[in-house]
A and B are shown apart, each in its own frame.
Chain A
Amino acid sequence: MSKISVSFVEEKEHMRHRLTRYCDLVTGLALRDVKMRYQLSVLGLYWAVLNPLLMTAVWSFVFSKIFRAEGIKGVPYVVFLFCGLTFWNLFSNSLMTAVNCLTGNASLLSKLYFPRVILPTSSVMARLVDFAFSLIVLAILMVIYRVTPGCKLYWLPLLIVIELVFTLGLAYIVSAVNVLYRDLGQILSVLLTLWLYISPVIYTLEQVPPGIKDYFICNPVGELIYMEVNVVLGSGVVDPAALGVTALISAGVFLLGLLVFRRLESAFAEVM
């Protein structure tokens, strides 16, 4: 017999019922997160809308006027950049908030039991609200600059789902590791800044020299943003091979994230 065993025997709960319960909880926690950002702090709308707008304004000046960067042909650089940042921020802001979601809920974690993955999951879901606001602003920009959306726009939901899967996987890892090493957040923000530059947000993949371009497939977020921006603003050709590889990597990262999370989970309550 093993040294440790813990078993909680409960009446078998219907799978569907359990799922509803967990979905309710994820939604509840996500809404609380959103409420905290928008109601309890004036910075809510800043992060969702103003920050990407300001970045776009400054960057589009620097990159298009000074460095002569180009986005998609026939699309004003401002719109191209804002579009890319919208999809980038969904990823980047999710990770930056997920990294603190366990450490920030210490009292909840040490007093009540629930599947811990629910916390990083809801933390990522909460960023969908910011993302929606950003999409609205993007639509307004497209109207102002008279940019017609691509004809393959129907690909977008699938691409966003894949991006979320990838983001969730990384969110599980960073939130769990941050419990053990509390300064991961600072390191993460540096890494994300570097990551932004190797992703096609301020430039397009077409401008990358062929020799280097082959390596870009290793960066699923970059690949996804490239496809998302193209679907929204450009011709919208989605390369099925690239999409397949990206989806596979994302699924792999998601599973790896769950695995890492489970390994570190037992230590959470102790060090809180």
Chain B
Amino acid sequence: MPVIEVNGLCKKFMLRADRADSFSKMFNTLFRRANHGEDREFWALKDVSFSVPEGKSVGVIGVNGSGKSTLLKLLTGTLRPTKGHITVRGKRSSLIELGAGFHPDFSGRDNVYLNGMILGMSRARVKEKFEEIVAFAELEQFIDVPVKYYSSGMQARLGFAAATAVEPDILIVDEVLAVGDSSFQLKCLSRIREMQGRGVSIVLVSHGMGDIEAVCDEVLWLHKGEAVMFGNTGDVVREYRVNQGLPLPGHAGA
């Protein structure tokens, strides 16, 4: 059975210039002729379908604003679809954007505990895993420093270490590997490999085609909310590179 099935998925956002988002605005519009900027609908995802077989990993690529993060948020449950069907089988863990859910004023330690509990671990479980998380992130010296003093790479390290410690069946990662240095990227890749070896599915959003090729079996290419292509990583990435005017490997410098 596929771990992820997405069928005819649509997501609409309302882009309202003048949303009555407070009682005072609402009160005003009662007395004045409502002068809304037009209510503009925006379809961030249009009829997207794909599925991920058990143990396989999928990449999502596309230009900025094409709907990748929106798709991942629908998969984690933070957003609800406007139309369509989503089935996800297995325990999820996610790392959406940098410093996912970290509170800048609190120490790395506090944040790891809270993040771990939100992602599905009990307090006792986080405690067991804590040493390992910190060691993986190589942040022993900074763990009691507020996260606002962390560099982007440090935040990514801690976020990734915490998200993977949950031991999920499905790991959802949105553009966080890119900020790590190359040694950490290698470390992440090897952990991802190890998880894949245990049958974990990865859903990875990245602008780095290298990462996508290294991790994913299949790739979904989104453009303006629509699925342009879904299939074998090699094929989709090649098409995408051509479309984006990126050099093809092997043709570099030609």
Contacts and interface: CB of A to CB of B under 8 A. Distances in A.
Interface string B77-92: 1111111111111111
B151 interface: no
B80 A21 contact: no
B199 interface: no
A45 B237 CA distance: 58
Interface residues of B, number: 47
A192 B201 CA distance: 51
Query: In which size bucket is the chain A interface?
Result: 35 or more
A140 B183 CA distance: 59
A183 B94 CA distance: 33
B247 interface: no
A24 B84 contact: no
Given A4-B84, A181-B21, A266-B80, A36 B100 contact: no
Interface string B220-247: 0000000000000000000000000000
Interface string B149-171: 00000000000000000000000
- For the complex, would chain A's binding face be called helix, strand, loop or mixed by DSSP majority? helix
A112 B91 contact: no
B86 A181 contact: no
B182 interface: no
A21 B103 contact: no
B22 A183 contact: yes
A4 B82 contact: yes
30 contacts: A4-B80, A4-B82, A5-B85, A5-B87, A7-B87, A8-B92, A11-B91, A21-B117, A21-B121, A24-B123, A25-B117, A27-B123, A28-B117, A35-B106, A35-B110, A36-B105, A108-B101, A108-B118, A110-B73, A112-B96, A112-B100, A112-B101, A113-B78, A180-B21, A181-B23, A181-B26, A266-B80, A270-B14, A270-B79, A271-B19
